[in-house]
Structure 1
């Protein structure tokens, strides 16, 4: 009870370095329906995912996009689910700035809980920030510019709840969560067995996220996690293997456009077999 009272009195806050990032892509402000009840919207360079039947009823928001974009995401949600129809909950795949950029505004405006893996809690309760992005890492221009990206802790203790043990996903009976650390300690992916639909977060992405031109034009390719924020490459490789074992038919990644079928499977096979050459950078603060 004492902990509940403390949470009730806690004032939520975004990180002190939370700010709008001047980055976009050709896919920005567009959305795609990948299944009748699964829709993703590209907010600048990151995807937010909405699960639920359009037009009304219960739905869940996966991640909250880039900083200072809450009104944009709320407008998209109203267009799909109806004005005033708040989600049942927000689920965070992890706590990096481009996935939690509007979590305070949205969870307060909608009055909903936020679920995350307990290993992400230190970064979501104000305890500590993530390591600063690695501008020294081997990669493209966006890696060099990553010092611009927020990385300090946010505090959403008031609304934060742990994901259940065992992989069950609150309010989504057909889905299960999979722990995929490496890019961040408590990163999760979401998988639905019925149609083998995978939400891979940043465990792997479908655009090379450190390369400015490829991000701008959204060049489709299966690629490893964003280099400038990935801190454990051994775990990242094992997380990729875990997702490959699911044999996904369709994937919506945290970055890039959705992929499916043979192109996806070939890309995953090649990435897993050649992880050190294709994903792991040659040098950087977090490289062994």
Structure 2
């Protein structure tokens, strides 16, 4: 198994494609550019099985319905943000376009921390609120990767000046959940380059007071 990063949408949010040798895949946070993303997946003979959302801010959901319909696949989201998909004020798109950005209801609502599988892909869901109330991270042990959305970045952390965000909660999520993962875990961030748990433990100024 392997994964690829695909910056999409108005602010180049990182979508991720986790795939196996047979071309089966799951998609994380398709934020926009639905037609181009669909074409790229089909060109690579990738067959998505599901869309997994780390949270429901507009820049992470812009191509959800396009990709869902193109491949006839379900969407997963945490229960605290399930209703944000249809609400431009909650997903913060109300000021982005005249209509806002919305998506239909998710087929699967995640309640609490759990392990689950999508086809051959097994994940451990970790609740990591702080950037948003329903932010979750998906730990994929076979590739040693956590798909963390906007919780932890290379030398940074997610924004906490947004509605429903809280800096103390976010830092607690990072310290108590993400930094407890193996130090060689790759962090597939929602924006910017990927990093590792060890790199952020050693050099992230928001975490160690450098």
- TM-score band, normalised by the shorter chain? 0.7 to 0.9
The CA deviation string for residues 57-89 of structure 1, in whole angstroms up to 9 with x for no partner, is 4211111123xx101111221233x1xx53111
SS at match of 2:156: coil
Quickly say closer, same or farther: Cα 1:72–1:226, change in 2 above 3 A: farther
Matched, 1:177 2:120: no
Counterpart residue number, 2:39:
75
Output the aligned Cα RMSD.
2.9
Indicate conservation of the 8 Å contact 1:202/1:255, yes or no: yes
* Structure 2: gaps of 5 or more residues: none
Counterpart residue number, 1:251:
187
Counterpart residue number, 1:239:
173
Counterpart residue number, 1:129:
89
Quickly say closer, same or farther: Cα 1:267–1:130, change in 2 above 3 A: farther
Counterpart residue number, 1:42:
7
Quickly say closer, same or farther: Cα 1:149–1:239, change in 2 above 3 A: farther
Counterpart residue number, 1:114:
75
* Structure 1: gaps of 5 or more residues: 1-35, 134-146, 207-221, 279-288
The CA deviation string for residues 228-267 of structure 1, in whole angstroms up to 9 with x for no partner, is 5362222111111121121442211000111237534313
Quickly say closer, same or farther: Cα 1:198–1:118, change in 2 above 3 A: same
The CA deviation string for residues 218-237 of structure 1, in whole angstroms up to 9 with x for no partner, is xxxx2010345362222111
TM-score (norm 2): 0.82
Query: Which of the numbers 53, 58, 71 marks the counterpart of 2:24?
Result: 58
Structure with bigger helix share is 1
Paired residues for 1:144-223 under 5 Å: 148=96, 154-157=102-105, 159-163=106-110, 165-171=112-118, 173-206=121-154, 222-223=155-156
Bigger Rg over Cα? 1
Q: Offset of 1:119 from its aligned partner?
A: 0.8
Greater relative contact order: 1 or 2 (C-alpha under 8 angstroms, separation 6 or more)?
1
Query: Which of the numbers 217, 225, 229 marks the counterpart of 2:162?
Result: 229
Quickly say closer, same or farther: Cα 1:155–1:79, change in 2 above 3 A: closer
User: Equivalents in 1 of 2:98, 2:129: separation in Å?
Assistant: 20
Q: Offset of 1:45 from its aligned partner?
A: 2.1
User: Equivalents in 2 of 1:164, 1:131: separation in Å?
Assistant: 19
